[in-house]
Amino acid sequence: LAKTTQPISMDSYEGQEVNITCSHNNIATNDYITWYQQFPSQGPRFIIQGYKTKVTNEVASLFIPADRKSSTLSLPRVSLSDTAVYYCLVGLDTGTASKLTFGTGTRLQVML
Amino acid sequence: GAVVSQHPSRVICKSGTSVKIECRSLDFQATTMFWYRQFPKQSLMLMATSNEGSKATYEQGVEKDKFLINHASLTLSTLTVTSAHPEDSSFYICSANPISGNTIYFGEGSWLTVV
């Protein structure tokens, strides 16, 4: 299983763009990269998933370089409600071979 | 997105009793579900992989006789904490990935308090 490394915490102000980078040096060929958001006392919520290059949806963008050894979650114009823990997970997300191991996550604090 | 539901969301039980937590995939079928536990301000720790129609596989250090997992159908997995003790008090979270799909979805979590 690929291990992930993220910053423990980050601070930002409302309206700013936040970029959280995750290192996954031993990512396997078939592994996808998935980011989740977790609020206190709730299960993780899917944000975005990618395999390579760039992926964008209505809430975030995911940048993955060619070597796939890292990825960056970009949250445009954050608000107070984006204060949460963000997890980067790497794994094969299909079938019985999939098993996601959580790293420490990044605790994002958004301030006024 | 896909919905995974857990029940109960909160449960209090007496020490020595058993408690069951259900995990249901509401709008998809899942041959595999996962159970995690999370202590306050810590990350999620994978406990076991629940396989429909076969035995669960447990992570190292997780007692299979204490944490019984049953995956009787493609939409339901249950975790039973047997002979619960106060140190079993935690937030338990399940996840499931659709048979046809590349994303794993998580339940809302279940708080277990053993008194």
Encode pLDDT of A41-69 as tens digits.
Answer: 999 999 999 999 999 999 999 999 999 99
Q: Which residues of B touch A47 (CB under 8 A)?
A: none
Residue A77 has pLDDT above 70, yes or no: yes
Beta-ladder partners of A79 = none
Looking at the complex, report in whole angstroms how far the Cα of residue B20 sits from the nearest Cα belonging to chain A.
18
User: How confident is the prediction for chain A on average, in pLDDT?
Assistant: 90
Mean pLDDT, chain B, integer: 92
β-pairing verdict for B110-114 and B105-106: unpaired
Please, which pLDDT band fits residue A1 given cuts at 50, 70 and 90? low
pLDDT at B109: 97
Q: Are B34 and B45 in contact (CB under 8 A)?
A: no
How far is the alpha carbon of B16 from chain A, nearest alpha carbon, in Å? 25
- For residue A95, pLDDT beyond 60: no
> If interface means Cβ-Cβ distance under 8 Å, which residues of chain B face chain A?
1, 4, 6, 31-32, 34, 36, 43-46, 49, 51, 91, 93, 95, 97, 101-109, 111
Report the pLDDT value the prediction gives residue A40, as an integer from 0 to 100: 94
B80-91 pLDDT, tens digit each: 999 999 999 999
Q: Which residues pair with A63 in a beta bridge?
A: A54, A72
In this predicted structure, what is the pLDDT of residue A99? 63
Q: What would the two tokens of residue B24 be?
A: 């249901």
> Left (φ > 0), alpha (ψ -120 to 50) or beta: where does B31 sit?
alpha
Question: What percent of chain B has a predicted confidence (pLDDT) above 70?
Answer: 98
**Distance (Å, whole) CA A73 – CA A49:** 10
Residue B32 is encoded by which pair of tokens?
């595999």
Decide: A70 and A88 in contact? Cβ < 8 Å: no
d(CA A72, CA A65): 9
pLDDT tens per residue across span B30-70: 888 999 999 998 999 999 998 888 889 999 999 999 999 99
Which residues, at least 6 apart from A39, have a Cβ–Cβ distance to it below 8 Å? A45, A84
The Cα B5–Cα B39 span in angstroms is 20
**Region A88-97: what's the mean pLDDT?**
62
Burial level of A63, CB count in 10 A (0-12/13-18/19+)?
Answer: middle
Q: Has residue B1 got a pLDDT over 70?
A: no
